[in-house]
Chain A
Amino acid sequence: MTDLAERRGMETDVYQPAEDSHLLAEVAAADIRNDDLVLEVGTGSGYVSEFVADATNSRVLGSDVNPHACENARERGVEAVRGDLVAPFRDGAFDAVLFNPPYLPTDPDEERDDWMERALSGGESGREVIDPFLDSVGRVLAPDGRVYLLVSSLSGVEEVVFRASKNGFSVVALRDESFPFETLSILKLVR
């Protein structure tokens, strides 16, 4: 997770599993119960969903705005739904929602309009996808539902925690891991 230009060495239509994906998969799988119904938003390759489903026996759905990602996830055996964040899911449906969001702060003048850009770029603040997610995810959570969200120091952890609190969540960091250019944290949000 260095910078966008460097990531672009590997051109593809779908974000491929990286350190952030592994971290989210591992931490979420250790915390999710066997009979949970789980949604992974922005599933990309489907790696995290497949990992969590295999590790926990829970049912995991993957959603993505990118049709190529939905196809990849389905090829891995993940039930895929094409949609915008949590918009096409029922109120109170999920015990757990996972999200490794696009979070790299990006200069608007340099943004490209392609699928890889949308998988990586969090807009100028790095939080342009995280914020609407935090504002809407509560609706699809069961009463004791939890959110497992990956955040990077690059997009500001405090701001994310503040936004989550504003939406009625209390936040704990389950794991922090340092990388050369950023620290990644897995936040667990509960109500």
Chain B
Amino acid sequence: MDIICCPLDKQELELDARQEEAEEVIFGTLTCTQCGERYPIEDGIPNLLPPDMREA
């Protein structure tokens, strides 16, 4: 969390952890505190692609 940010406006992200294992978030959501854009965490990997690159 101290390393990543919103790829659009570089603002802080707020973490909503749904599933954690060994202090690691496996599933959850990161939400930009500024623009409100939401980024999923799936299988331990945050997907911080901007929305227009997210398909595929």
Chain A residues engaging chain B, CB cutoff 8 angstroms: 37, 61, 65, 67, 70-71, 74, 80-84, 87-91, 93-94
CB pair A81–B46 under 8 Å, yes or no, is yes
Chain B residues, CB < 8 A from A83: 7, 48-49
* Across-interface contacts of B50 in A (CB, < 8 A): 84, 87
Q: For B2, B43, B48, B53, which residue has the most chain A Cβ atoms within 10 angstroms?
A: B48
Cross-chain pair count, CB within 8 angstroms? 53
The reply to whether B49 and A89 contact each other, CB–CB distance below 8 Å, is no
24 sample A-B contacts, Cβ–Cβ < 8 Å, listed by A number: A37-B3, A61-B3, A71-B45, A74-B43, A74-B44, A80-B45, A81-B4, A81-B45, A82-B45, A83-B48, A84-B7, A87-B48, A88-B4, A88-B5, A88-B46, A88-B49, A89-B4, A89-B5, A90-B2, A90-B3, A90-B10, A91-B10, A93-B2, A94-B3
Instruction: Give every chain B residue within 8 A of A82 (Cβ-Cβ).
Output: 45-49
Within 8 A of A (CB), among B4-56: 4-7, 10, 43-50, 53, 56
CB nearest to B44 among chain A residues:
A74
In the bound complex, residues from chain A placing their C-beta under 8 Å from that of B6 are 88
B40 to chain A minimum Cβ distance, whole angstroms, is 10
Q: Chain A nearest CB: distance from B41 CB in Å?
A: 10
Chain B, residue nearest A70 (CB): B45
Kindly report which residue of chain A lies nearest to residue B12, judged by CB atoms.
A90
A65 touches B49 (CB 8 A): yes
Query: Which residues of the partner chain A approach B49 to less than 8 Å between Cβ atoms?
Result: 65, 82-84, 88
Q: Is the CB of A93 within 8 A of B3?
A: yes
Residues of A within 8 A of B10 (CB): 90-91
Contact: A88 with B7, CB < 8 Å?
yes
Give every chain A residue within 8 A of B4 (Cβ-Cβ). 81, 88-90
Distance of A43 Cα from B15 Cα, bound (Å): 24
Residue of B nearest to A80 (CB): B45
Task: Provide the bound-state CA to CA distance between A70 and B41, in Å.
Answer: 12
How far in angstroms is the closest Cβ of chain A from B56? 8
A74 touches B45 (CB 8 A): yes
- Whether the pair A90, B5 counts as a contact (CB closer than 8 A) is yes
